[in-house]
Every structure is written in structure tokens, then in C-alpha cells.
Structure 1
Amino acid sequence: MEDLTSSNKNQLIDFTQLKKLLIRLLKNWYWFAISVTLAIALTYLYSRTLTSQFASSTSILLGEEVSNSPEQAFFKEFNITNGNQKIEDEIAILKSRSIMMDVVKTLNLNFQYFVQGRVNALELYKEDVPILVNFMVADSVVERSNLTYYFQFVSTTEFKYSTDGNFFNKSGAFGKQFETPIGNMIITPKIDDIMDYSGVNFVFRLSNVRSVAESYRNRLNIAPNRDGSSILIISLSDPVNDKATDILNTIVKVYNGIAISEKEQLAAATSNFIDERIELISSELSDVDNSAERFKTGNKITDIDTEADKYVAADSEVERELNETGTELSMAQYISDYLSKQKKYELMPSNLGLSDKNLEGAISQYNKLLQTRNRLLNSSSEENPVIANIDQQLEGLRISMKRNIANYENTLNIRMNKLREQENRINSKIYSVPGKEKRFRNISRQQQIKESLYLYLLEKKEESNIALANTQPNAKVIDPAFSNYAAIGPNKRMYYLGGLLFGLMIPFLVIYIQDLLDNKIHSKEELQELLPSVPLLGELPRLKKKKQQRIKENDRSPFAESFRLLRTNLDYFIKGRKDSRKIIQVTSTIAGEGKSMVVYNLARTIVNSGSSVLIIGADIRNPGIDRFTRSLKGAKGLSDYLYDDNCRVDEVVQMTPELEHLWVVKGGKVPPNPAELLMNGRMKELIEKVEEHFDYILIDTAPSMLVTDTLVISELVDHTIYVVRANYLDKKALNHVKDVYKNEKIPGLMLLLNDVESSNLGYGTRYGYGYYGQKKKKGLLSYI
């Protein structure tokens, strides 16, 4: 049950705090309105400076050589995710700096043209550009330069220009050179009526090719259509729609051009290798042919008759195998020699028809890795970890190829030896063949081997030429670059939403920080939370004007009603005490909390109920009660009575002219020794003489934390109204009140919270003050 009560209490506290926060925010609604209005206005101005962005995209299908590479097949077979590495490499190549720089140079993207508006500039492109700019310097100088020129077209032949857009103090003529920091420049009109652009500032901007390429690389997006797909979606956004489309189409074109060039280089390397071997074999074949001719001529042999026909067929088969094996061995030796003499990073001849498919595969993989390395080097350096990894793979492949070639040659030599042994066995049976015929057969065999190798190389040369003629690009364009000409950014709705949130956040943060730094008392809840054991007499609302501090006759204002409620509460507290005397002192912690105002208005309220009241201005250091009794100017005061033993009571007790039953003892002149005067016994004597003549005695005393006057007078009073001013007194000062109450230094202490804002009044949030039946206007806060 206790836990439930505690939970309900915590919920009530949370609701109260939330309600208090909402009231605090609503009370400052105008700051939110001003802040949001300014934020939206600034957002509008900022959004006008933003340039619209248009998106364009294209889709390409990577060729079979990329998507079905040996590495891809291996990874797919074993379901390893790194199977996408080749596609990722191609994406990196598409986004490489070298390709983008080629695109920039091809489209002259480092040349930009604008028409300057009041807020921002409108970029022109292609046919929209009215002039043609040429530099009379090398392209290499232009490509690494940055320039900006502003033009105003004066006539069809002349223009003015500036470098800052402010002072057009230089003139030039169309078609004539004028000097720039990087060399002479010529401007030529592209349209007949150049004066269509009169009255506007035309801007030409030359940018460094590398920086422009980097800008577009950062904006370029490339991703597979889906995971593992060979279809790539390439997209780009730019303020000029057609420019984005041209850039995407040119990227694909340059990429395919590089791929075709690499394939042509590989085919050319293979063709050169074959041409060298054909030239060598042709020379060797010519020597063998000459040897055969000389042998026949020298031995007068015109026809060779075979005596052992049944062995000839077997011998011919062996010779055919010897020819094929000899051809493969020669090719293996050629490749071994090429690999030994080759520079470190050169393409290997491929598709030579070797029977060792592992060796053919290693050569193909070596060439592809080498091409990938060369492409990456266009936008990176050899210290790049990716290139270093490729170098390690290439070195491993070279070692592997050398080992494979050695094994391949060894296998072919073993086969050759076996075939020769078989041939010797057959030849031993053909014992009747003459020696001349044997020697001629040896020459003929060499001739056939050379012829077979020569014909094989011619066949491979033709295949290489056909492959070179049918070179296909790596990427097939599925959809050319396309845009729907609808701006994708900036998202102004998000900017306005951000402006709205920012406008709401600023006053909220200001109010929140104010609350964090606030150390003042604002409401009776805060006061009761800090001083829970001290009785609370009531609270007084804040006055809009200082002139309203006096209660008038028949006053029905909330301020007057608060004092009527205060009078009722005071009577209730006094009746609850054993001592029925109504000698009450009114004090505060520091000056300026409104105790004198409370004394005067409380006295008037009590008098209006038919009781007689005497006000004693005991704050003789700063007699604040005198401000409310200016009609008694010139009368003696308390300080006079305390100082002069001959001064009579009837000389200081004065009736106010405005109220019959309200009497006042003014503070009088400020003495040099207030505390000593209050302790001389005359104050006690005064109270004893007047207490039986008045229903209430209200004593306005000095602030209790600053001087000892209040503690001196406390011995003479029965009750104490302790005034705490809201939004004024520091919370730490309440420790003084706690100490005074705990140690009973002041009798009958009751708290009165003064100057409370209407939103913090315990009754002001819904009902307010006023007589029953009095009509009042309802505000927004009344519904909270």
C-alpha cells in the first residue's frame, strides 16, 4: 500500500513538473513565434542560394571475361563471398582518377560558363554557351591552372572584363588575344546576336583538371544491380542535367576504350611472338630443304623405293607423334626463353595451343593480373597495398610458370625418348633399307617437323589476327545515361523542417538554461519543498504597475482579494495559538522584498473588517512605511520616541486621515545607533501602553539576515510574518529562515510569498481572484 502511495505521489510530481514546464513554455510563446519566423526566413534566404541537382544513371553489363573469370568461378564453386572481388575491382577502375581525368579532358569539364544572377549563378552547357574560349598556351598548362573572369558584352565586337566581378575596367575585342596570368586567351562568339546577354555578368571559370576529376569522382555512385550481379548501375548528380548524362556515357566509353586497348596489346604481343618464331622456323625450314636438295643431287636420288612397306606405316605414325611432340617441345622452349628474357612486368603470349592447360591458365591469369595492375597504377602508386598484393601474386605466378614449363619440357623429353626408342626398334627391322635412304629419311623427318611447326605457327597467327579484329569491350551498355529532368535536391522541405526545429529549439534551450541557472523562488510549491516544516500564510500576486501597491476603498482587484485571504489565514493561525495577543511583526531576509507594502495593505484590509490597527515603523534604518504615510509628514516617529525620554506616546501615534481606525507610528529620522535605541526599553514601554487600545499591532521591522533589530523586537511580539519575494530571493538565503525557525529565534513564524507571477499562483492557473459571479476573460493558460 505504501509503495502504491509512493508511486502515485511520484506520478503526481512528474505531472506537476510537466505542467509547470508547459506553462513556462506557453507563457513565452511569443519568443517561439519570433524565433520560428526568423529561422524560416533565414532558411528561405539560404535555400535561394542553393543550386538544384539533377540525377542521371546508366546500367552496364560486365563482359564474360570479368563476370566468368577463373577467380569468380572458383569462389562461386565454393560459395565464398570474395567472389565479388573482381567486380569490385572493375568498380574501382570505373571510378579511377585516370578515367575521370580523361572524361574531364574529353568533355572540357574544366571550362565552366555561368550567368550571374542576384543570388546565385546559372551554369550554361554546350549549345547554351554563347562564346568559345581558347588559350594560346600548351594544354598541359591549361589543365593545371585555375582562373575566373567576369564579362560584360558591350557590343557585337567588344566586351569588358574583370577578375573580381566588381570593377569592369578592362576592355577586349572578340577574336583578339588578351593577356591572362597563364598566357593569352581568345574569346569568339558562338551565336549571331551576342547582345542577348547584354546587361548581365557572364562568368568563365577555368579549373584544375585533377580537382574537377576528384569532384566528380566523389559524386559518382556505382553499385551492382543486386548482390553477385554483373550488372552495374552508375549514377551521378549535377546542376546541369545534360552534363551528368554526358559524363556517364563518356565514362563507359573511356572504360571500354581502355579495355579494348589492353586486349589489343595482348593480341599484339602474341602476334609479335608468333612472327618472331615464324621467321626463325622459316629460316630453319629453308636450311633443311636445301639439305634435302643437296643430298638428292649429290647422291643422284630421284625416287626412294621402300622394301618393308609393312613397317613404313608404323614408322610414319611414330614420326607423326615425334613431329607433334617436337612442335610442343619447341613451343615450350620458346616460352621458357621468352619468360627468362622478359622484363618484370610485360604481357605473356597466350592461346598458343599447349596441351598443358594448367600452363595456359597460369599465363592467362598472369596477363589479367598484370592488366589490372597497370589500370590501378593510373590512379595510384606502387606503394598501394592492393598493387603490392598484385605484385606478390605476379611473382608467384612467374615462379609457378617457370616450374610448370620445366615440368612440361621434362614430360615432352621423356615422350620424345620413348618415341625414338620405338622408332629405333622399327628401323632395326627395316634392315634392308640402304644407308643413303636412311640418311635421307632423317633429313625428311627434320623437314616434316619444321613444316608442321611452321604451319602450326601460321594457324596461330591467323587466330590471333581474327581475335584482334573481333576485340569486344568489357562493358555492354544496357541503358544509356538517362534523366527525367526532375531535380532531386536540395530537399527544401527538409531545410524548412530543420529551420522550424531550430527555431523551436533556440528559445527552448534558452528557457531550459535559464531554469538550470535559476536560483530564485518562484512558487509556493518550491518554497514549501525547501521549508516543509514552516507554515505558509499565503501568497501575493505580482503587480503590473508600482502605483498599484496601495489597496483602494472597495477594491475588487486580485491584489486586494489576496490580502483579504491573507487576513483570513492570519486570524486562523492566531486562533490556533494559545496566546491571543495580536502583536505581529513583519520582516524579510533582505531589503526589497515588500514587507512595508505588506504591513500597510494588511493593516488597511484589517481596518476594513471593523478592527483597529496600529502600524509601528520599527525599521528605523530605512523607514519604508513612511512612503505609505506621506500625509503624516512632519510628525515625530519611533526614533524620536526611543531617543527622547520626554517624548510622549500621543506625540508619535498618529491617526491616518484616509482611514478612521488606522493609526501609525512613523519610523522617524534615521539614528546613528538603531540597535541600541531598540534595546533601551522604550520600545517595550511603547507596546505596553498601546496594546490595550488596538485590536492589531503590526510592526514593520528591518531585514532579519542583515541586522539584529528584528531579533531584538522579537521578544515583544507574538507572531511573525516572514515575507519572501518570488523571483528575487536566492534559495540559499532560505537557510537563514530555516535556522531562525528551527532555533525559535522568532516567535510564531509564518511565510508569505510575495510578487508571484500569475502562472505560478496556486489559484491563478484556472480560477484567479475576484468575487463570485464576476466575469473574467479566459486566456490560453486557463485551459491548462
Structure 2
Amino acid sequence: MKTHHNPKHNELSVREILEQYTRYWYLFIFGVIIAASLAFIYLRYTTVSYLSKGTIIIKDEKSDGGAEELAAFSNLGGFLSRFKSSKIENEIAIFKSKRIIKEVIIALDLNILYESVGTIKTTELYQYKPFQVQYLSINDSLGEPNRMIPKLYFEIENETQYKVYNESNSIEGVYTFGTKVDLPFGSITVIPNLDNATKFKSFISKTVSVSYRDVDKVAAVFQRSLNVANELNNSNVVVISMQSPVRSKAEDFINELVFQYNRDAIEDRGQVAKKTSDFIDSRLEIITKELDSVETNKESFKSSNRLTNIEAQAQLILENASDFEKRQFNVNTQIELANTMIDYMENSSNNDLLPSNIGIEGGDVSESVNNYNELVLQRNRLLKSSTAKNPVVVNVNDQIEEIRQNILNSLKNTTNSLKVSLRDLNFQESVLNSKLSKVPTNEKIYRGIERQQGIKEQLYLFLLQQREEAAISLAVTAPKAKVVDKAYSSSTPVSPKKSLIYLGSILAGLLVPFLFIYSRDLLNNKISNRRDIETGISNLNLIGEIPKLKKDEEQLIQLNDRSILAESFRILRTNLQYLFINKLENTHKSNTVFVTSTIKGEGKTFVAFNLALTLALTGKKVVLVGGDIRNPQLHRYLPRELQNQPGLTEFIMDASIKARDIASKSSENENLSIVLSGAIPPNPAELLMLDRTKQFFEELREDYDFVVVDTAPSMLVTDTILINKLADVTLYVFRANYTEKRLLEFVNDAIEDGRLLNVAGVLNNVSLSNFGYGNKYGYSYSDEKPSFKNRLFRR
């Protein structure tokens, strides 16, 4: 079939589009009320979350001068910038490490959850707990504690006794506070909290649940909720935050996290001091033995040679060489210290800390050693919460290897330089020795012994000083994280957001009815109003709309009827009369109206009968003909005694019958006569093609002012198409919410092809919300009380 479109009818105004939805205003109000109620219930019983945060500064003791001193090593390249950029990230990783979080959980007993069991909502107890459950022992054979230890429910009987049970009631009993209780999974002791007697009594007869959870899993939960961020660029300020339904719990967690971090950092720095102290002690033991040996040699030499004051003999030469001796002494001391450090580094691994502040001149080596130790400590802390393949650990290992090699190279270069200086000093010493050739040989030997003694004494005293400094550093260690703001919480919940929830519920309450109506209209393939017909059929004059009737309403128009049904047929009658006036070719006496439809069930018989009654109410003589000889329906509105009267088929078959002979007066109106369709013939189409059919209508026109014919459906059979040329007007009946939109194509094609002539449309079974007249414009057809909707929106 061909499809046709009328652009004028296809366009919907904004008002018409809105009316498609505003007519169901009560659905939107109901939807908003339901959605807002659900939002209220959700907010009433949903656990709210608060934001808790604390601020600290990661102190860096080497930030002032260390960078410049470290820059003195030209071969370190870009290590300094990489070290500074990754330092805060490394500290943040330690804060979020599972190892530190587990220590916090154990310190605060956060793996034991106390909850007050309500009728609908369960609330966590944290600040005040009516009692404390101590898990004394857990059977190892039971497996994982969080899986095998059941949740326990406690009910306080009085100040001395309590009842405990589990969900399966495999554990149940009444016990005394403070006593050891043996349960299937282990032993517990319950200690009452009687500090606040009023609060304790308020929990009597209430149910409190206690859950023992696995520390690792609880740590994983806190690890996901914890947020540690360096919010200020190029600074050491770190903000620690987390969301929790219990504000005091989150605040305690953050404060304890900072404490555990500082404790861990102090332990790390204590390891450096202890390592340095151990190194100094080992060197002191060696130097003490060497010093004892030198002093013993000096004593033996002086005793065997009977020497007392041999220095006076070379006083003049020695005064001239005093400056040289000091330089030679310092060079030997530095060589000894450098060789000691090189020997230690070559015999230790990358995992060992290096002794610091051992007296090597030049701040570059000392600063490098300090930075090396700091990197080793950072790497060890990271390995506690990650693997050696972690990119951060790999990066730190590379930095450790690089700076260790640089320190070793610097020490070797320093040693070589000192050896060159010592070689030069030795050369000068040979010159002086030549000048001292006149000094007794004993003096030379004795001076060498004293020089060795001085070196050992100087080194011994220096190591004693360094050991005291290391002991002080071990005893006094400042926290690494300085607290700027202790943990505090927001006064209002951050989740769920009430305004957002209510706004979303209102939008959902409006959207659901909208989608329902939109989907219903989108999936609806039935016509519902006159616009659907005007859109599907390009040249059809819709002259009437018949309202939908209730089950208990009268289907036939009565005398002096003021119902909306009667008024709609009066409108149809008036519009129909204008069609008759406009027919210039109308030359016969009366006007003939054929009433048809596309398929059965669209109400053509109902429309035909009421139209005939409406025309008869004007005083005109009207005859209603049952033109559907295949499936007659007109007899439904007639008394039983008239249902077997001869009709149209008998007139066509019997030439002796006159049209007036088969017309019966209707009991509904004296001006209305009815001609039934008659017996159902075997060949209805061929029967209607006979000349007697035309003669039948000509006789009726002579006797009646209006002839109304209830014909067969046009799409199902050809009967109406065959006799359509005998009608002055063909009323085509459509039924709202019954006739499919695709069937309009048949009507449109039949009109354009000329198979149906002088067609006008009637829309039957229209709901009041789609009705084009009457109450839609505030006019009442009856004395009925207006509906609540009409009274509410009356203007």
C-alpha cells in the first residue's frame, strides 16, 4: 500500500505535546511523592559518612645545606632532582603501607567491631562500649579467625551478668562479667565498662553484637578508604583524610597513623646511630691495641738506651720543621681514616648502613654518606610493604648503587691525592733528615716512635668523641612528621548528600511517569485521537467524535437526552447536514448515509443506530437499514419479536416485495423505521450487484427523509465497495484504542483510488482526555457533579 503524509497534521505544537503529559498530572504528583518517600526512607536508614582529615609536615633536616654540598659531586648528575621529587611520594607510600596500618589497627583494637542491634538499623559503638570483649585464645585448628569465629550477640542482664549467643544458637549461655568463658572457637573474657553507670544501664536488655575480624582484611579496608596527598606543590605538607560513619574513630585512626609513622622513622634513624656506634667500638678495640704496642715500644727504647730528654738536642731543627710535622701528621690521619672507610665499604653490601661522621675532612663525603644511609632506610621501609620488583624500590636501589659507587670513588680519589701529598712530605722529610744527620740515631728512632704514638692517641680520642655523639643521637631522636593540625571531622555528613538525593528522587519521580507515558505512546499502534486519523489520511473530513461509554451507561440516545453521548451525535448530525447542503449533485429527494468501518468491532452499528435516532428526533422520517448481510448486528438493538422479520436479502431475491413492506416501526422513536438485513445468503457480493439493490434504495428515498445504512466492514469484504456509489455520504467509523494505525493506509488508498466516495470520518470510543468538545472547554452536558480534576483546575 502507498503511504501518505500531511505535513500540516504531522506537526505538533508545544502546547499539544505538553498536553499529552499534563493530562496525566496525577501520575507525576504520585511519582514525586513515592520517590521523595523512598528518598526519605533511604536517608533515614542509610549510614552517613563524615570526612576526617589531619595535616602534617615531613621534616627534612638536610633540606638547607645538603643540596649544595651534594652538588659538589659532579659525577652524581641528575640524582639530586630525582631524589627530591620522589622523597614525598616515598613517604606517602609508607603512610599507606599495610604494615603501618596493621600496627594502627592492633593498637586501637579496630579489628573488633561493636554494634548496637536495632529493629531496622545497626549502629557501630566506638566512643562508649558497655563492655569490652577480650579474646584470650583462638584455636589454631579452626582456620582463619574471620571465617571461623562467629559474630557474638550479647545482652546485659544486670551489672554482674550477661547473656551471649550466636546466630545459629550453637553458642548460648549466661555468664558473669570478668570470668573466663570457654567457647568452641577459643576463650574470651568480658569486662564491663562501669565508668558511666547511666550509659551502662541504658544498654540493659539491649542487644550488642561483637565481631572479631581478620587484621589483614580490616587493614585492606582502611587502606582503600585512606587518602594521603601532597596537596601543595613544592612543599612537604601532607594531608591525611578518610571518610567514616564514626568521626571519633576516623580521628583516632589518623592520629595513631602519624604516631606509628614517627615511631617507625625513629627506629630507622636509631639503626644508623647504632650501626655507627658498633663500627666505632670495633675500631677503638683495634686502635687501643696498637696504642698499647707503641707505648710499650717507647718505654723499652728509652729504658734500653737510658734516654731522658733527647728532644733538647734537636730543638732548633724541630722548631723549624714543626709546621711540616703537623701537615704530615694530618695527612697520615686522613689516609688512615680513608683506608679504613674504603676497607669497610669493600667488605660490606648494599644493604648495610655506612658509618657517618668518622672524621674524614670535606663535607662532601660525609653528606654523601648521610644521604646514602637515608636511601637505604627508605628502601628497607618500602620492602616491608612491597616487593623488590616494585618500580619505586628498583629506583631507590639504582640510586643507592650510584651514590655508593660515587662515595667509593671519591674516597679513592681522596686517598690518591693524600698519598701524593704524603710523597711530597716524605721527600721534604728526607731533606730534613739529612739536616738531622748529626742528631744521634736514637733521636730519629725515638721521634718516629713518638709520632706513631701521637697518631694513635689522636685517632683514639677522636673515636671516643664520635662514640659519644652517636650515643646522644641514639638517645635523642625527633619525630619525622610534625603535626600541623590534629585530625578533625566535618560537622555535616559528606555522604549521602541529602539535597542531591532529594533532587535526584524528584527528577526520578518525574522521569518515570514521563518514560511510562512516552513508552506507552511510542509502542501504541492504535489510534487514540483525531490527530492520529488526520495524520494517516490526507483528505478526510472528521465530522464527529463519539465518547467512550461506561459499562452501566445507556448505549442508545433517549428522548430529551442531555448526556455527552447525545450531544456528540447532535454535533455529528449538524455536521452531516452541512455535507448534504454542499452536495451540488444531490438531485434525489432524500439523503442516504452509509456507515462502514475497516474491520468488525469498531462500532459502526452503534453509530448507525444512534445517528438514525438523532435524525428522527428532529421530526424527520428515518429508516435504518441493516446493510451487512454477512454478519448482521442490527438485531441486537431490536425486540426479540422483530429479529426474524424479512429484510434486504428477501427484497432482492423476491421481486414482489416492496421496501415499505419490510420496514418495521422502532420502539425507540415513532419517526424511525428499521429494515433488517434478512437471511444470510450464500453469495452476498453477487446478490448486492443485482439491480434490485438500487431499486431498494430508490423506494426508500421516496418514503423517507433519511436513509441510514449499516454496511459491512470495507477491508474484510467487498460488499460496501460495491454499493458505495448509492450513498450520498459514507460515514467511516474508527474506534479509538482499537483501530490500528496501519489500517489507515487502506482507507487513504480507497479514498484516493475512488473505491469509496464522499467519505467523512467518525471517531468512536474517545476518552474524555482526548475528547475535542464538551467538558474539555468547561461546558457540562449534564447535571452531574464535576470531577475532582475538573474542580481542581477550574478557572
TM-score scaled by structure 2?
0.88
SS of match in other structure, 2:385: coil
> Residue in 1 aligned with 2:4?
none
Corresponding residue number in structure 2 for 1:5: none
Closer, same or farther: CA 426–97 of 1 in aligned 2, 3 Å: same
Secondary structure of the residue aligned to 2:210 is strand
Q: Which residue of 2 aligns with 1:737?
A: 747
Task: State the shift of 1:766 in Å.
Answer: 5.0
For residue 411 of structure 1, the aligned residue among 413, 417, 420 is 417
Secondary structure (helix, strand or coil) at the match of 2:35 reads helix
> Aligned partners of 2:559, 2:731: CA distance in 1, in Å?
24
Gap change, CA 1:763 and 1:334, over 3 Å in 2: farther
Tell me how far 1:288 sits from its aligned partner.
1.8
Tell me whether 308-317 or 693-702 shows the greater mean CA deviation: 308-317
Aligned to 1:100: 101
Deviations 1:665-684 (A, max 9, x none): 12334444433432344322
CA offsets, 1:691-725, max 9 Å, x none?
22223222111111111221122243243211122
Please say if residues 585 and 721 of structure 1, whose CA atoms lie closer than 8 Å, have aligned partners that are also in contact: yes
Q: 2:517 aligns with which of 489, 494, 511?
A: 511
Q: Deviations over 1:433-477 (max 9, x none)?
A: 222222222222222222222222222222222322331110122
Q: Residue type matched to 2:515 in 1?
A: L
Is 1:276 the counterpart of 2:276? The answer is no
| Cα distance change of structure 1 residues 730 and 381 upon mapping to structure 2, 3 Å threshold | same
Matches within 5 A, 1:331-350: 331-350=337-356
Q: Which amino acid aligns with 1:598?
A: V
1:96 maps to a residue whose letter is: S
Q: Which moved more, 1:548-557 or 1:470-479?
A: 548-557
Match of residue 290, structure 1, among 283, 296, 320: 296
**1:222-259 CA deviation, whole Å, 9 max, x = no partner?**
33463333333333443333322322221111111111
* Distance in structure 2 (CA, Å) of the matches to 1:66 and 1:649: 123
After superposition, give the CA deviation of every residue in 1:564-584 in whole Å (9 maximum; x if it has no partner).
322232233333344215322
Give the equivalent residue in structure 2 for 1:150: 153
Q: How many Å separate the matches in 2 of 1:781 and 1:127?
A: 56
Q: Is 1:452–2:458 an aligned residue pair?
A: yes
Q: 1:258 to 1:771 in 2, by over 3 A?
A: closer
Structure 2: stretches of 5+ with no match in the other structure: 1-6, 72-77
**Which aligned pairs between 1:456-467 and structure 2 lie closer than 5 A?**
456-467=462-473
Q: Are residue 120 (structure 1) and residue 121 (structure 2) matched?
A: yes
Q: Indicate if the aligned counterparts of 1:113 and 1:125 stay in contact, CA closer than 8 A.
A: yes
| Among 596, 599, 604, the residue aligned to 1:595 | 604
Describe the shift of the 1:129–1:423 C-alpha distance in structure 2 as closer, same or farther (beyond 3 A). farther
Quick one: which amino acid aligns to residue 88 of structure 1?
A: E
CA distance in 2 between partners of 1:462 and 1:765 (Å): 105
Offset from partner CA, 1:354-388 (integer Å, 9 cap, x none): 33444333322222222222222222222322222
Q: 1:684 to 1:98 in 2, by over 3 A?
A: same
- Asked whether the 8 Å contact 1:66–1:474 carries over to 2, the reply is no
Aligned residue among 36, 39, 44 for 2:35: 39
Instruction: Please list the CA deviations of residues 296-348 of structure 1 after superposition, one character each: whole Å capped at 9, or x if unmatched.
Output: 22222221245665542452222222222222222222222222221331222
1:620 to 595, 610, 629: 629
Contact 2:688 2:719 in 1 (8 A): yes
Structure 1: 5+ residue stretches without partners: 1-8
How far is 1:734 from its partner? 1.2
Partner of 1:579, secondary structure, is coil
Matching residue of 1:110? 111
In 2: Cα distance, 1:424 partner to 1:751 partner: 137
Distance 1:763 1:356 in 2: 106
1:578-593 correspondence to structure 2 within 5 Å = 578-580=584-586, 582-593=591-602
**Alignment correspondent of 2:714:** 704
Secondary structure, in 3 states, of the residue corresponding to 2:733?
Answer: strand
- Match of residue 266 from structure 1: 272
Query: Which residue pairs with 2:74 in the alignment?
Result: none
Match of 1:187 in 2: 190
Instruction: Tell me by how many angstroms 1:742 deviates.
Output: 1.9
Q: Could you report, residue by residue, the CA deviation over 1:55-74 in whole angstroms, capped at 9, with x for unpaired residues?
A: 44333232233866967999
Shift of 1:207: 0.7
Alpha carbons 2:624, 2:708 under 8 Å: kept: yes
Distance in 1, matches of 2:659 and 2:65, equals: 119
Range moving further from structure 2, 160-169 or 372-381: 160-169
User: What is the distance in 1 between the residues matched to 2:299 and 2:62?
Assistant: 53
Amino acid at match of 1:758: L
* Cα distance, 1:21–1:166 mapped onto 2, change above 3 Å: farther
* 3-state SS of paired residue (2:233): coil
Local SS of the residue matching 1:284: helix
**Does the CA-based 8 Å contact 1:71-1:83 persist in structure 2?**
no
Is 2:165 the partner of 1:162? yes
Corresponding residue of 1:4: none
The 1-side partners of 2:158 and 2:566 are apart by 84
Q: Is the 8 A contact 2:621 2:705 kept in 1?
A: yes
1:491-514 Cα deviation digits (max 9, x unpaired):
444434433333333222222211
Partner SS state of residue 593, structure 2: strand
Name 1:302's counterpart in structure 2: 308
Within-5 A mapping of 1:373-384: 373-384=379-390
1:746 aligns with 756
Identical-residue share of aligned pairs (%): 37
Q: Which residue of 2 aligns with 1:543?
A: 549
Instruction: Check whether the contact 2:51–2:489 (CA below 8 A) recurs between aligned residues.
Output: yes
Cross-structure match for 1:51: 47
Residue 389, structure 1, aligned to residue 395, structure 2: yes
Instruction: Quote how far apart the aligned CAs of 1:98 are.
Output: 1.1
**Structure 2 counterpart of 1:467, which letter?**
S
Alpha-carbon separation, structure 2, partners of 1:416 and 1:313: 20
Does 2:361 align with 1:355? Answer: yes
Q: Who is 1:779 aligned against?
A: 790
Higher mean alpha-carbon deviation, 730-739 vs 225-234, is at 225-234
Where does residue 606 of structure 1 map in the other structure?
615
Secondary structure (helix, strand or coil) at the match of 1:688 reads helix
Give yes or no for contact 2:171–2:183 (8 Å, CA) kept in 1.
no
- Could you tell me whether the CA contact under 8 Å between 1:158 and 1:171 is conserved in 2? yes
Q: For the Cα contact (< 8 Å) 1:66–1:86, is it kept in 2? A: no
- Distance in 2 of aligned mates of 1:79 and 1:572: 101
Aligned match of 2:224:
218
Give the counterpart letter for 1:125 in structure 2: Y
Residues 37, 127 of structure 1: CA spacing in aligned structure 2 closer, same or farther, 3 A cutoff? closer
Cα RMSD after superposing both structures = 3.5
Q: Is the 8 A contact 1:599 1:698 kept in 2?
A: yes
Match of 1:531 among 511, 533, 537: 537
- CA 1:414/1:641 → structure 2, altered by over 3 Å: closer, same or farther? farther
What are the superposed Cα offsets for residues 167-198 of structure 1, whole Å, 9 maximum, x if unpaired? 87544444444444532223343439777543
Contact 2:660–2:700 under 8 Å retained in 1: no
1:25 aligns with 2:6: no
1:271 positional shift: 1.3
* 2:629–2:684 CA contact under 8 A, matched in 1: yes
CA contact (8 A) 1:135 1:142 kept: no
Corresponding residue SS for 1:463 = helix
* Cross-structure match for 1:60: 56
Q: What code does the residue aligned with 1:635 have?
A: Q
Structure 1: how far apart are the matches of 2:405 and 2:341? 14
> 1:252–1:638: structure 2 CA closer, same or farther, 3 Å change rule?
same
Residue 326 (structure 1) aligned with residue 327 (structure 2): no
Count of residue pairs brought into register by the alignment: 772
CA distance in 2, matches of 1:315, 1:306: 14
Residue in structure 2 matched with residue 316 of structure 1 by the alignment:
322
d(CA) in 2 for partners of 1:671, 1:548: 33
2:731 equivalent to 1:721: yes
Structure 1 pair 181/512, CA: closer, same or farther in 2 (3 Å)? farther
For the pair 1:663 / 2:669, whether they are aligned, the reply is no
Partner SS, residue 664 of structure 1: strand
